[in-house]
Amino acid sequence: MNEIGKILVIIEPEHSESLALKRAKLIAGVTDAHLHLLVCDRKHEHSALLSLLKEQLLADGYSVSTEQAWSNNRHETIIDVQQAEGCALVIKQHYPDSPLKKALLTPDDWKLLRLCPAAVLLVKTATPWTDGVILAAIDVGNLDNEHKTLHAAIVDHGFDIASLAKGQLHVISAHPSPMLSAADPVFQLKETIEARYREQCKAFQAEFDIDDSRLHIEEGPADVLIPHAAHKLRAAVTIIGTVARTGISGALIGNTAEVVLDALESDVLVLKPQSIIDHLEELASQE
């Protein structure tokens, strides 16, 4: 998180309070990141609003630039500007469509999460981060190098956010139910599965000073356990990662992540491994 040089903040002129900008200021206040404010609109002029915001931010000591742009649709506009400006983080507020779809992400939000070659923070609530719980969700059952690197990034970002918000970092990993038919005896008993998962967590527990009371290893599907834990802990931010398939037209976030994202009541930071980011940057350059 401390290595973020530039943050792209999506400004929605029709909403008076920008929670995305509020989160961006909190992060930039600690990291000294440059803020690039973007309004996605082809019909109306928003230079007065952008000038006012820039003036206020400069007066508060932030480094800031502004832009209004439009290319085809909202998510493509955001990705085009993110690539042109070299922003390592995109922050966008999620606005529910209707009471019926209150929890569900909009198609634009989904496309942004799938296709943006950068970390994306979706602001879903007005809950302050300060003194809050930061929940890092990992899958320690996958031990290939890509997952290991992603787990490290998730916990690392969680630690950074907890530090800047003076909050408390918790980590959750779901584990499968025991199966008597499993070839590996470890996976035949709940106790041995949990012990194996806890063992995999010891290294980052030591590195980031996470005691056992803040490590949640639970049996069940991740798409149920993660939102449940976030709700129970009243998490301000939940950090999840996605290892998507490469070599296809766009990266697909798996069904688990989709259900988790829609069900979460907290803000959500979505991280991708470098290989996916490289692939998405290649796709973006071909547009």
Please give the model's pTM, rounded to 2 decimal places. 0.87
What's the rounded Cα separation, in Å, for the pair 174 and 219? 6
Domains 6-123 and 133-286 belong to one CATH topology: yes
CB–CB of 154/137 below 8 Å?
yes
How does strand 64-69 pair with strand 235-241?
unpaired
Q: Which residues lie below 8 Å from residue 49, measured CB to CB, with a gap of 6+?
A: 11, 13, 39
CB–CB of 191/234 below 8 Å?
no
Q: Domain 6-123, what fold? A: Rossmann fold (3.40.50)
Q: Hey, what amino acid is at 54?
A: K
CB–CB of 217/228 below 8 Å?
no
CB–CB of 167/236 below 8 Å?
yes
Question: Domain-by-domain residue ranges, the chain?
Answer: 6-123, 133-286
Helix (H, G, I), strand (E, B) or coil at 48: helix
CB–CB of 137/254 below 8 Å?
no
- Candidates 3.40.718.10, 3.40.50.720, 3.40.50.12370, 3.30.70.260; CATH matching 133-286: 3.40.50.12370
227 φ, ψ to 5°?
-60, -35
pLDDT tens across the length of the chain (287 residues) = 667 889 999 999 887 778 999 999 999 998 999 999 999 999 999 999 999 999 999 999 999 999 999 998 999 999 999 999 999 999 999 876 665 665 677 778 888 888 899 999 999 999 999 999 999 998 877 767 777 788 888 999 999 999 989 999 999 988 766 665 555 665 566 777 788 888 888 888 888 888 999 999 888 888 888 999 999 999 999 999 876 544 333 334 455 566 788 888 899 999 887 777 887 888 888 76
Rg (CA), the chain: 19
